[in-house]
């Protein structure tokens, strides 16, 4: 049993990455380095996500968690290979873990020995892309999270773990976004535990095809329809 050596990439202080880092650190999985993207788009995505989970608790900051665990933090303007690769040189990495990033392609994906893994707040392959809880409600897709390998597509890599969120009547959109955020962190933690136990070769599976397109950020009219649907409790997959 050998814990992986990995780098952790995220948009600067994104709540998604903060939760995931807290989860994996709780099982002793400490990244060799954290590389944050500090950019206007990253700021916009962070604030948008904070709005999505409004009213729910947020994990400690990356700065706090890194300091407590002695993890070096590097900052780049964008997570592209020319900016990131010089920061990875000298690290013999088994993995790279994405903790809430924009789409990343290219050399970064080929650097670690055993791949790049991401946790996505939707059930793959049916709900690829952005704003997964919203589109899941809108299209009556089951809600959950998926831990998967990253390739040059958008949420198309092989799956390691996926699990549904039990949706109860009375849950609102913010609750669903928060539950998929927490579950994504849990699945990444469980995936790293499985790596430690040598079980990945038995777990990884291709996604297959989806009848749905790759979703973009949900416009306000879609979010309004989602909120109304949850208020009417007409979503198709309640457990109660």
Residue 150 DSSP symbol? -
Question: Using CA atoms, how far apart are residues 240 and 235, in angstroms rounded to an integer?
Answer: 12
The reply to whether 237 falls in a domain is no
Which pLDDT score is estimated for 213?
A: 95
Residue 48 structural domain: 6-232
SS3 143: coil
Q: How many Cα atoms within 13 Å fall on the side-chain side of residue 208?
A: 8
The reply to whether 162 falls in a domain is yes
The reply to whether 240 falls in a domain is no
Q: How many CB atoms lie within 10 A of CB 169?
A: 10
Q: What is the dihedral of CA 85, 87, 156, 124, to 10 degrees?
A: 180
Question: Using CA atoms, how far apart are residues 43 and 187, in angstroms rounded to an integer?
Answer: 25
The reply to whether 97 falls in a domain is yes
Residue 28 has pLDDT above 90, yes or no: yes
- Structural domain total, the chain: 1
**What CATH number does residue 11 fall under?**
3.40.50.12230
Which pLDDT score is estimated for 2?
A: 80
Q: How many Cα atoms within 13 Å fall on the side-chain side of residue 80?
A: 4
The reply to whether 75 falls in a domain is yes
The dihedral through the CA atoms of 155, 22, 17, 166 has a sign that is positive
Question: Residue written as tokens 């060799």?
Answer: 32
The dihedral through the CA atoms of 138, 139, 141, 146 has a sign that is negative
Tens digit of pLDDT for each residue in 115-149? 999 999 999 999 999 999 999 999 999 999 999 99
The reply to whether 218 falls in a domain is yes
Tens digit of pLDDT for each residue in 167-213? 999 999 999 999 999 999 999 999 999 999 999 999 999 999 999 99
> Would you call 9 exposed, middle or buried from its count of C-beta atoms within 10 A (0-12, 13-18, 19+)?
buried
Instruction: State the pTM of this model.
Output: 0.97
Tens digit of pLDDT for each residue in 37-76? 999 999 999 999 999 999 999 999 999 999 999 999 999 9
């Amino acid at each position: 049993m050998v814990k992986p050596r990995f780098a952790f990439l995220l948009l600067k202080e994104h709540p998604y990455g903060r939760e995931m880092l807290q989860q994996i650190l709780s099982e002793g999985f400490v990244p060799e380095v954290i590389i944050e993207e500090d950019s206007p788009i990253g700021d916009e995505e962070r604030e948008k996500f904070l709005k999505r989970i409004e009213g729910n608790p947020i994990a400690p900051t990356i700065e706090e968690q890194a300091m407590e665990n002695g993890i070096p933090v590097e900052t780049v303007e964008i997570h592209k290979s020319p900016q990131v690769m010089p920061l990875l040189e000298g690290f013999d990495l088994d993995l790279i873990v994405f903790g809430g990033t924009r789409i990343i392609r290219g050399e970064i994906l080929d650097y670690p020995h055993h791949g790049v893994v991401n946790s996505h707040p939707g059930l793959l392959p049916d709900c690829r892309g952005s704003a997964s809880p919203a589109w899941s409600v809108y299209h009556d897709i089951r809600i959950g999270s998926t831990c998967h390998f990253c390739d040059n597509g958008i949420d198309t890599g092989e799956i390691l773990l996926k699990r549904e969120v039990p949706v109860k009547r009375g849950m609102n959109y913010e609750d669903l976004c928060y539950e998929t955020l927490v579950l994504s962190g849990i699945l990444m933690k469980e995936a790293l535990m499985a790596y430690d136990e040598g079980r990945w070769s038995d777990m990884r599976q291709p996604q297959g095809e989806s009848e749905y397109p790759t979703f973009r950020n949900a416009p306000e009219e879609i979010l309004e329809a989602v909120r109304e649907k949850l208020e009417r409790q007409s979503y198709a997959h309640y457990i109660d």
